[in-house]
């Protein structure tokens, strides 16, 4: 079990994890063509699953030093190649653009969604990542957002949205080729 996070915490349930990767496999096909970036890694289970499914490279970011140590130790124990780092998700634009095509997974602590802060911060990340980097186009990014409410990206980014409800959570899949369930 990972160390407790300071403040509020949440864990992605196994049902949601399985559903997310089933949708991605159905929509994207060969997952090894994509990098995977867990922007708020927490326990690391999404990054571990991504690495075991063939995403390359896989990144796991968190701001909590104890969790980062846990992520590094677990990736070694499991024999999975995961680049673990201390990074605030708002500073991930360059990593996303340099590793396209990429799937970015965003599931911050619930406290971060208060007053719409997470949505605004995610909008800023998307705009900062997609707009100034000519090398990263909307076609190179699939974003998965797990939250209590639906996430709608800023207009004009060329990202289609598919939303699913799992166990009281809404998982939003955003990407150019994200359509209805196959």
Q: Domain coordinates of the chain in residue numbers?
A: 14-175
pLDDT (0 to 100) of residue 95? 87
**Domain 14-175 belongs to what topology?**
Rossmann fold (3.40.50)
Q: What is the DSSP letter of 5?
A: P
The model's pTM: 0.84
Q: Which residues pair with 103 in a beta bridge?
A: 36, 142
Q: What is the pLDDT of residue 179?
A: 56
What mean pLDDT value characterizes the chain? 81
Cβ proximity of 4 and 156 under 8 Å:
no
Distance CA 132, CA 150 (A): 26
Residue 127: how many other CB atoms lie within 10 Å:
15
Question: For 5-9, 91-95, 118-122, 161-165, which range has the lowest pLDDT when averaged over its residues?
Answer: 5-9
* φ and ψ at residue 76, rounded to 5 degrees: -65, -45
What pLDDT does 91 receive?
82
* Alpha carbon distance 131, 125 (integer Å): 10
């Amino acid at each position: 079990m990972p160390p407790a996070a300071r403040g509020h915490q949440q864990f992605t349930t196994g049902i949601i994890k399985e559903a997310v990767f089933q949708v991605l496999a159905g929509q994207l096909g060969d997952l090894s063509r994509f990098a995977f970036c867990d922007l708020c890694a927490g326990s690391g289970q999404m990054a571990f699953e991504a690495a075991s499914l063939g995403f390359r490279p896989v990144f796991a970011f968190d701001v909590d030093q104890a969790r980062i140590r846990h992520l590094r130790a677990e990736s070694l124990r499991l024999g999975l190649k995961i680049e673990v780092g201390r990074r605030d998700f708002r500073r991930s634009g360059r990593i996303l653009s340099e590793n396209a095509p990429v799937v970015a997974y965003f599931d911050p602590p619930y406290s971060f969604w208060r007053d719409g802060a997470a949505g605004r911060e995610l909008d800023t990340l998307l705009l900062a990542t997609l707009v100034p980097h000519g090398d990263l186009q909307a076609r190179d990014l699939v974003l998965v957002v797990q939250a209590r409410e639906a996430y709608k990206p800023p207009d004009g980014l060329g990202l289609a949205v598919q939303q699913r409800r799992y166990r009281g959570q809404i998982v939003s899949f955003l990407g150019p080729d994200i359509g209805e369930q196959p």
